[in-house]
Amino acid sequence: MSTSIQRYTARERGNHWVVAIAFVLAALSGLALFHPAFFFLTHLFGGGPWARILHPFIGVVMTLFFIAMAARFWKLNRFIPADREWRRRIKDVLCNRDHGLPELGKYNAGQKMLFWVMVVCMPVLLLSGIVIWQPWFAPFFPIGLLRIAVVLHALSAWVLIIGIVVHVYAVIWVKGTLRAMTRGTVSEAWARHHHRGWYREMTGK
């Protein structure tokens, strides 16, 4: 057995999973109102009116907890020169040819891109969502603004959903990753292989 390295504290994990659960619920109820093919998803929430009532509250929970999470991880997600090299070699990454990839910190460029996509999408979703929030806020805005908001809301939600599909798949694909968010630790070998810079920082090796 190799030794483990702490990657996420219990608080960080809790924060992440609140955002994740809220995202799943918001995405399911939102998709239900986006395309008739998904309308059946309203049944998960107790019917159409309940899906409509709950969706914005779930969205607010998601955004608030995301802001907390973004504040935690902001600095770690700034791009560094090694990210360009990693991005240039994305084909090798995808084909599992990991030898000679640049030394990375806690996050690779893909993870960072997802982070910044979320940093853009979450506020757009929150603000456009408030504008179309019936019956509380929408009556205070002109219809022209509502029309812009519904399009922005759908567009940013779509980008976010695609981003999360990639995020979830990456966890399925890269073995040994999930435990970072369930138990908080990763194996030393995993850390050395995927995030050598972070591994050195954590172990001093």
Partner 1 sequence: MALQSLDIAARSATTTPSPQARGAIPVAKLIDISKCIGCKACQVACMEWNDLRDEIGTTAGTYDNPRDLTDQSWTVMRFSEVEVQEGRLEWLIRKDGCMHCADPGCLKACPSPGAIVKYANGIVDFHEENCIGCGYCLTGCPFNIPRFSKKDHKAYKCTLCSDRVAVGLEPACVKTCPTGAIVFGSKEDMIHHAEGRIADLQERGYSKAALYDPAGVGGTHVMYVLQHGDQPELYAGLPNDPGISPLVSLWKGITKPLMSAGIGLAVLAGFFHFVSAGPKEVEEEEERS
Catalytic residues: 167
Residue 126 and residue 153 in contact, taking contact as beta carbons nearer than 8 Å? no
The verdict on 197 binding partner 1 (CB under 8 A) reads: no
Residue 106 or 194 having the CB closest to partner 1: 194
Q: Which stretch binds partner 1 (CB under 8 A): 18-26, 62-70, 73-81, 137-145?
A: 137-145
Quote the tokens at residue 36: 């008739």
The verdict on 94 binding partner 1 (CB under 8 A) reads: yes
Report the C-alpha gap between 128 and 114 in whole angstroms: 21
The verdict on 100 binding partner 1 (CB under 8 A) reads: no
Residue 61 or 148 having the CB closest to partner 1: 148
Q: Taking Cα atoms as reference points, which of 126, 114, 115 lies closest to residue 157?
A: 126
As measured in angstroms, the least distance from the Cβ of 190 to partner 1 is 5
Report the C-alpha gap between 23 and 60 in whole angstroms: 10
The verdict on 175 binding partner 1 (CB under 8 A) reads: yes
As measured in angstroms, the least distance from the Cβ of 132 to partner 1 is 7
Angstrom CA distances, 172 to 82, 90, 125, stand at 25, 18, 27
Residue 10 or 143 having the CB closest to partner 1: 143
CA dihedral in degrees (152, 149, 63, 173; nearest 10)? -20
Q: Which stretch binds partner 1 (CB under 8 A): 6-14, 15-23, 35-43, 112-120?
A: 35-43
* Interacting residue with partner 1 among 44, 71, 173, 182 (CB under 8 A): 173
Cβ neighbours, 10 Å, residue 76: 13
Rounded (10°) angle between helices 143-173 and 10-34: 130
Q: What is the DSSP string of 91-116?
A: HHHHTT--TTPPP--SS-HHHHHHHH
The verdict on 132 binding partner 1 (CB under 8 A) reads: yes
Residues at the contact surface with partner 1, assessed by CB under 8 A: 2, 32-39, 42, 47-49, 51-53, 94-96, 98, 132, 134-135, 138-139, 143, 146-148, 150-151, 154-155, 158, 161-162, 165-166, 169, 172-176, 187, 189-190, 192-194
